[in-house]
Amino acid sequence: MKNNQFAIAPADHQQRVTELQTIHLLHPDEEQQLSPNQLWVKLLTRIHIADHTPALDHEWLNSLLATPDQSITDWLNQNLPLTNRVFYLVALQLLQFEPAIDFAIDDPLTGMEKIQLPMEHHEHWTTANVIDAFYLLLNTRTKLGQNLLDRLTSQGMLTWTYALPANQKPIYFNGKPIASFDPTRFIREVVYVETDMDTDYDGKADLVKVEIMRPADSNDGLKVPAAFTASPYNQGTNDKWGEEITHNVNIPLTHKDPHDQSPAEPDFPMTFTKQTVNGESQTAAESFSTTPAYTLNTYLSVRGYAIVYASGIGTKDSDGLQTCGSPEQTDSMKAVVEWLHGDRRAFTDRTSGIAIRADWCNGNVGMTGRSYLGTLATAVATTGVAGLKAIVSEAAISNWYDYYRENGLVMAPGGFQGEDADVLAAETFSRTKSPADYRRIEATNNRYMKGLAAAEDRTTGNYNGFWAHRNYLPNVDNIKCSVMMVHGLNDWNVKPVNVKNLYDALSGMPNTSKLILHQGQHIYINAFRSLDFSEMINLWFANKLWELDNHADELLPDVLVQDNVHPETWTTYTNWSGNQSTTLNLTNNSLTTENATASGRVKFNDHQDDATYQKWCQKPAEWSQALLNDFDGHFSAHFVSTPLKKDWLLRGTPTLKVRVASSADHGLLSARLVDRGSAKRLTVSPVILAKDGLELAYHFGKDDLREFQLQKETTDAKVISYGHINLQNRRDASSVDDLTAGKFVDVELPLQPIFHTLSAGHQLELILFATDYEMTLRGNEAISYQIDPQNCTLVLPNN
C-alpha cells in the first residue's frame, strides 16, 4: 500500500498541544510533568477507548509489539528511552498495518517510508517530541482508508463532544472540523422553495422540494454552512420508460442539407402567479427519514455541515417538468442556494402559504455530487449566484452537446447507446412516483416531451439553439465560487473533454480552482484507500464555508493526477497540458516523427456481413476488441509507432488532421488512440477491499473501501483517447458542409484529452475507422473510406 495525503496542515508545537488538549487526549501540565515514556503510554491508553480498567489497559499494551520480540509492557519494564524504531513500530500497528504483510517487523522505519507515512525522527525523544509525533500520527491515514483520528472517532472516542454547547463548535483539529455533531439528533426537514418560472404550464410559479439534514446545534444558535447536492435522481427514476424510448441507433447516417433547421425548443409561460404568504413558521411542517446520500456528505454531516438535497423541477413532490440541463433546471437549483443565502422564499408545504427561512444557515453553500449532480453544481456556479462559495464538480458535464453529440454526430455516452436528452428527461421525471399527481400532469408532460425530442434533433446531430441552452461554458466567466474538478481519465460516459473545457475556461480567472484526474471511469473517489479525498474536501470546505484561515488553497495541489502505471500513485502538477507538443506523421502503417515517406492511400470498408453486424450490435465490446485486432484493415486503418525507448507522458488534447474521402455523399470519421504493449494494467473499476469497511462516523454511515489494483493478467492494449466527426461538419458542429462521394476533404478532429504515461517498450497506435458500435449510429452501409496518409498528422501535447 502507498499512502497519499494532501490535507495535513502544518502545525507548530503550541497548536498541537492546544488541539490535543481540546480533544482531551493531552491534559494540562502533562508536558511538564511526564517523561516521554510516561506520556506515550498515557496517550496510547487514552486512544484505546474500549478499555475501562487498568487490567485491560495492561492487556492491550501487552498485545502490541514495541520491538520485534517484546510487547510494550515488557519493553517498558526495561526503562529504556523511547526511540524512532519503537515509536514507529507501535505506530504501524495503530495504523492497522501488519508485520510480515505490510512491513518488516525488524525495520519499521523503512516500512513507514515505503508506505509513505509521515514521520518525525529524533535522536533523543523528549516529551514535546512525543506530543508532536503523536499529533502527526493522529493525522496519518490507517490501512483502512481514514486517518487515525477519524478511525478513533468512528469507534466513539469523540462522542462526548456531542454534548458541548453549540457556541463551542465546530471543533477544529489540524484545520478541519472534527465529528462533534450528534447524528442521532439530526434535524431532518422538508421545505418548498418558490422559483420564478412555471415549467408545467399551470399558471403558478414552480415549487421545488428541498430535504435538509442539519445538526441540532443549528437550532441552538450555531450557524452552519450547507453542502448542497442537486440530484434529479433522488426522488426515484423511471428506468423502464427510459428503456422504452431509447432511440434505435441501427439506422444509417444521411446526407445533410446545409439549409436544414432544427425545430425550436418548447418555451415556458412568461406570466404566472406566485403564492400568497399567509404567515411564517420557525419550524418545518414536514420531515423525512432517508434520501439517497452521497457518502461524502454523510462524512461532512457529523462535522457540522448541513446536508441539503433537492431534485429540482419535474421530480416527485416538486412542480415543473424535466428539461434535461436547461437554464430552467439550473434556475430551480440556484433558487435553493438563494433560499439558503436568505435571498428567496420557501414554504412549509405546497398550499398553505406559510413561509420559512433558513435561519440556521451561515449563508455559505458548497455544492457536491457526481455526473448529473456535478453538472448542476457547475451550471449553478455559472449563474454567479450569491452564497455559493465552492463546488466539487465530479464527472460533470460542462456542455450537453459534448455528452449526447460530437462534431455533427449523434453520440452516445459510453454504455448507453440510444440515450438522449429526452430519454434522460423521461427517466428522471419522478412525478410518476406520486400516481395521482402524475395523472394530472401526464398530458402536459407528453406534449412537452414531444417538443423536447424534436428540438434535440437527432436527424442532423448539429449544434443548435437547444444545445446552446445547455452549454455552460460561455457563462464560465460568471463563476464567483471556488471550483474543484474531479474526473476519471477513463470516463467514457461523461467524457474528459467536459472537464478539460471547464478547466481551460477557468484557468485565466481569479477563482481558485483545483483539478483531480483519476484512473477510474464514471465513479466517486471518496472511499479510496490511497488518497485522503474526504479530508481534502473537509479542509477546503472549512476554508470556503466555515471561513477558517487554514491555508487550504496553498496546501491542496492545483492539479493532482493518479498514475496509470503504478498503483496508488498520485502526482501533483501545476497544470494539465504539457509545455511541448510532438507532431507525428502517418505512413501506410506507421506513426513517426520523421517526414512521411511516399505512401499510398489506405482504404477500408465500413460494411459487415449480417451475422457480424448483428453480433456487434448486441455486444459492442466484441466489436471494440475486433477493432483492436483488425490489423489487416478490413474496416479500419492502423498506424503504429516504433516501441518507445523510455516512458513518455502525454498530457492535454491530441489533435488529428486527416484527409479522407467517403464513397457516399455522407460519412463519418472515428479515431482511437491506443497504448499498445503487454502490461498488467490497473483494474477498470476499483476493487472493493472491504465491503462497508469504511465507517464515516460513530455508528452512522459506512462505505465500501476501494482501490485500483494491478490486474492479475497482462493485456496487450488500452484505448486512451478517441474522437468522432461527421464529414459534413468540417468547420464546426453548427455549420453543415457539403460532401461529394469519392472526393477528399480535410478534417481536423480534437481527440479526448489525456494524461497518460506510455511506458518504455510500448507503442502508440492510431486507429481510424467509421462506425463506432459503442457510440455512433450503426447503419452498416457499404461505404468505403480512403485516407491519404501524406496529408494526415497527429499532434500530441506532452512533457
548 vs 556: CA distance, rounded Å: 15
Q: Is 607 in the site for its own copies (CB under 8 A)?
A: no
- The least CB distance from residue 301 to its own copies, in Å, is 12
Nearer to its own copies, 246 or 348 (CB): 348
- Report how far residue 95's alpha carbon sits from residue 160's, in angstroms, rounded to the nearest whole number: 23
CB of 156 to its own copies, least distance (A): 5
Which residues lie closer than 8 Å to 388 by C-beta, 6 or more apart?
337, 341, 365, 366, 367, 380, 381, 480, 481
> Whole-angstrom Cα distance, residue 23 to residue 134?
13
- Region binding its own copies by CB under 8 A among candidate stretches 221-229, 282-290, 508-516, 546-554: 282-290
The candidate with the shortest Cα–Cα distance to 119, out of 98, 99, 147, 139, is 139
Q: Closest distance between its own copies and the C-beta of residue 146, in Å?
A: 14
The least CB distance from residue 454 to its own copies, in Å, is 24
Q: Rounded to the nearest whole angstrom, what is the least distance from the CB of residue 791 to its own copies in the complex?
A: 46
Q: Does 615 bind its own copies (CB under 8 A)?
A: no
Could you check whether the bond before residue 269 is cis, i.e. omega within 30 degrees of 0? no
The answer for 791, left when phi > 0, alpha when psi is -120 to 50, beta otherwise, is alpha
- Kindly report the length of the chain: 799
793-798 and 655-662: which strand pairing?
antiparallel
Interface residue with its own copies among 234, 318, 375, 432 (CB under 8 A) is 432
Q: How far apart are the C-alpha atoms of 198 and 274, rounded to whole Å?
A: 10
3-class secondary structure, 795: strand
Residue of 622, 682, 676, 671 whose CA lies nearest to 770: 671
Draw the binding track, 621-660, toward its own copies (x: CB under 8 A; -: no contact): ----------------------------------------
Active site residue 491: yes
Count CB-CB contacts under 10 A for residue 624: 15
Quick check: 680 binds its own copies (CB under 8 A)? no
Strands (E) in 256-337, as ranges, are 279-280, 306-310
Under rule CB under 8 A, residue 69 binds its own copies: yes
Q: Which of 646, 590, 639, 592 is nearest to 759 (CA)?
A: 646
CA distances from 64 to 39, 98, 143, 786 (A): 17, 11, 17, 71
Please identify, among the stretches 281-289, 413-421, 771-779, 781-789, the one whose residues bind its own copies according to the rule CB under 8 A: 281-289
* DSSP letter for each residue of 467-514: HHHTB-GGGGGG--SEEEEEEETT-SSS-THHHHHHHHHHHTSSS-EE
C-alpha 605 chain-centroid distance: 39
The residue among 63 and 583 lying less far from its own copies, judged by its C-beta, is 63
In this chain, which of 29, 248, 258, 435 binds its own copies, going by CB under 8 A? 435
- Nearer Cβ to its own copies (49/277): 49
Choosing from 132, 457, 491, 772, the catalytic residue is 491
Residue 100 or 270: which CB sits closer to its own copies? 100
522, 638, 666, 724: which is the annotated catalytic residue?
Answer: 522
Compute the distance between CA of residue 523 and CA of residue 369 in angstroms, rounded to an integer: 11
Q: Exposed, middle or buried by CB within 10 Å (0-12, 13-18, 19+), for 94?
A: buried
Q: Which of residues 143-162 bind its own copies (CB under 8 A)?
A: 154-156
Question: Coil, helix or strand for 580?
Answer: strand
Q: Which of 616, 650, 617, 604 is nearest to 751 (CA)?
A: 650
The single residue of 371, 430, 534, 641 carrying the catalytic annotation is: 371
Nine-digit cell string for 583: 507532431
**Site membership for its own copies, residue 685 (CB under 8 A):** no
CB 701, CB 707: distance < 8 Å: no
Single residue of 351, 507, 614, 735 touching its own copies by CB under 8 A: 351
Q: Site for its own copies (CB under 8 A): which residue of 288, 473, 607, 709?
A: 288
Judge whether 380 and 469 are in contact, CB under 8 Å: no
Segment contacting its own copies by CB under 8 A, of 432-440, 487-495, 595-603, 744-752: 432-440
Relative to beta strand 176-177, strand 172-173 is antiparallel
Closest approach of its own copies to the CB of residue 312, in Å: 18
68 contributes a contact to its own copies by CB under 8 A: yes
How far apart are CB 561 and its own copies at their closest, in Å?
29
**What gap in Å lies between CA 320 and CA 202, rounded to an integer?**
9
Judged by CB under 8 A, does residue 98 bind its own copies? yes
CA distances from 657 to 603, 787, 792, 793 (A): 17, 11, 5, 5
Find, among 671, 707, 701, the residue nearest to 688 by Cα.
707
* Nearer residue to its own copies within complex by CB, 372 or 698: 698
CB of 288 to its own copies, least distance (A): 6
The Cα 453–Cα 55 span in angstroms is 73
Stretch that binds its own copies, among 285-293, 519-527, 765-773, 776-784 (CB under 8 A): 285-293
Q: Is 56 in the site for its own copies (CB under 8 A)?
A: yes
Which listed range, 303-311, 346-354, 560-568, 572-580, lies at the site for its own copies (CB under 8 A)?
Answer: 346-354
Q: How many CA atoms lie within 13 A of 89 on its CB side?
A: 22
CB of 567 to its own copies, least distance (A): 17
Collapsing DSSP states into helix, strand and coil, what is residue 365? strand
- Measured between alpha carbons, how far is 397 from 487 in angstroms, rounded to an integer? 10
Q: Which is nearer to its own copies, 436 or 611 (CB)?
A: 436
Taking CB under 8 A as the criterion, the residue among 206, 535, 606, 695 binding its own copies is 695
State the nearest-atom distance from the C-beta of 129 to its own copies, in Å: 24
Which residue's CB is nearer to its own copies, number 180 or number 407? Answer: 180
By CB under 8 A, name the one of 12, 14, 29, 101 that touches its own copies: 101
Does position 279 bind its own copies by CB under 8 A?
Answer: no
State which of residues 275, 348, 550, 599 lies at the interface with its own copies (CB under 8 A).
348
Residues that bind its own copies (rule: CB under 8 A) add up to a total of 54
- Fill in the amino acid letter for 387: G
Catalytic status, residue 457: no
For residues 436 to 475, the per-residue mask of contacts with its own copies, x marking binding by CB under 8 A and - elsewhere, is: xx-x------------------------------------
Q: For this structure, is 393 an active site residue?
A: no
**Taking CB under 8 A as the rule, does residue 699 contact its own copies?**
yes
Q: Is residue 280 close enough to count as binding its own copies by CB under 8 A?
A: no
Active site residues: 371, 491, 522
Residues of this chain that interact with its own copies (CB under 8 A) are: 49-53, 55-56, 58-59, 62-65, 68-72, 74, 93, 98-99, 101, 105, 154-156, 183-184, 190, 240, 285-290, 317, 348-352, 432-437, 439, 695, 698-700
